[in-house]
Structure 1
Amino acid sequence: MDTQTHQQTSTPAPAQGTHHWVMTLEVPNGSGKAMTTSNGTFTPAPGYTRANAFTDIYDGLIQRNPQLRGSNVVFFSIEPNAL
C-alpha cells in the first residue's frame, strides 16, 4: 500500500475587518429601478451598534458613489468575519 502525505501551506490572509457586510440598494432611475449589491469588511469602534455600522456603511457607499444618493436599502447583513 502506497501512502502519501500532503502538506498544504497557505499564505496569511491580508488584514480584514472583524465583520463582513453585504448591502443591496435599489436605485430609482428614469426607466424604472436598478439594483446594486456591495460587500466588504468593517471593524466597529468600541460601543458601536448594528445601527451605527449600518449608517457608516451606507454613508460610505453614497460618498464613493454619489449616483446612489436617494437609494433604498433592500438588504443588509453584517456578521462576524470568521469561519
Structure 2
Amino acid sequence: MQNEQPQGTHHYVLTLDLPGREMATWTGTVTPGTADTRYDVYVFLRKHVTADRPDFARANVTFFALESNAL
C-alpha cells in the first residue's frame, strides 16, 4: 500500500461533543517533537481543531487516542 503524502509517526483520533448540539471526530497523523508529551499533542490538537471550529472550544472530550503509526 503506497500513500502519496508522508504520514506522521503517530495516529490520533479526537472526538468532541457539544451536548444536544453536535458531535464530531477528527483523525489523522502527527509527528511530535522529541520533548513533546501526550498532553502536549492533545493541547496542540484541541487548538488545531478549534482554530477551524471555534464552537468546539468548550466541547466535552468523549474520546482521545494517540498511538504509534507503525504496525
TM range (shorter): 0.7 to 0.9
| Contiguous gaps of at least 5 residues in structure 1 | 1-9
Q: Which has the larger radius of gyration?
A: 1
Specify the SS of the correspondent of 1:56.
helix
| Contiguous gaps of at least 5 residues in structure 2 | none
Q: 2: distance between equivalents of 1:33 and 1:64?
A: 17
> After TM superposition, which residue ranges in structure 1, 4 or more long, deviate above 2 angstroms?
none
Q: Percent identity?
A: 39
The answer on 1:45 being equivalent to 2:33 is: yes
- Indicate the residue corresponding to 2:12 in structure 1: 21
- The residue type paired with residue 40 of structure 1 is G
Q: 2: distance between equivalents of 1:68 and 1:20?
A: 21
> How big is the alpha-carbon RMSD for the aligned residues of Structure 1 and Structure 2?
1.3
Structure 2 length-normalised TM:
0.87
Listed as ranges, the matches of 1:4-83 within 5 Å are 12-13=2-3, 14-28=5-19, 32-83=20-71
